[in-house]
A and B are shown apart, each in its own frame.
Chain A
Amino acid sequence: MNIIISNLLIFVSLGFMIFGIIGIFRFKDFYARILISSKVETVGFLTIMVGLMFRTGISYSTMKIMLICLLAIITNPLSTHAIARSAYLSGYKTGKEN
């Protein structure tokens, strides 16, 4: 039963990741790309980690995966924010076509 739930969650997260890749190629503007794609990535990351937690059961490896999840929740928005701020302060205009 655990294996079925875990497989389902892993497939859902693969769907999220594929949409993130589509988003990164579909948008022409850098700001739109950073708004969508890296966040869909976060959702995919959390979902696949929960799916793998169902597979390992209650053990020390589950706690390690939880530690990695917590670290990802803290650091992922910080790096996105750093990239967007760097582009904004360097004078990248909105709506500029590439």
Chain B
Amino acid sequence: MNVLEAVLTVISILTALVLVRVIIGPTIWDRLLGLNMISAKIIMSIIILAVLTERTYLMDVALAYSVLGFIGTILIARFVEKKGEF
């Protein structure tokens, strides 16, 4: 088994553990923190996959995903802070 494949498996298990925090998290901010961590882990997995299979276009997907995850987190945080009004 390749090292990168093993690392990819471990990262998937860690993502599942963060998902547990998102489900049981008592406040909405815990869930947002979990969302942020999950998006960071997905970017890591995409880049590992790109290096493993030597397809460089997957890195563009990671770039776009990092921007979209950032905008989503900021948007939900602002929405909760203003109590639903913009």
Contact = CB atoms under 8 A, between A and B. Distances in A.
* Direct interface between A and B, CB < 8 A: yes
Interface of A: 7, 10, 14, 17-18, 20-21, 24-25, 30, 33-34, 37-38, 41, 45, 48-49, 52, 55-56, 60-61, 64-65, 67-68, 71-72, 75-76, 78-80, 82-83, 85-87, 89-90, 92, 98
B43 to A, nearest CB: 7
Contacts of B80: 86, 90
A33 B30 contact: yes
Interface in B49-77: 50-51, 56, 59-60, 62-63, 66-67, 70, 73-74, 77
Contacts, number: 111
Contact of A52 (B18, B34, B48): B48
Q: Sorted from nearest, which 4 A-B pairs have the closest CB atoms?
A: A82-B77, A86-B81, A86-B77, A79-B73
A68 B39 CA distance: 13
B86 to A, nearest CB: 14
B59 A68 contact: yes
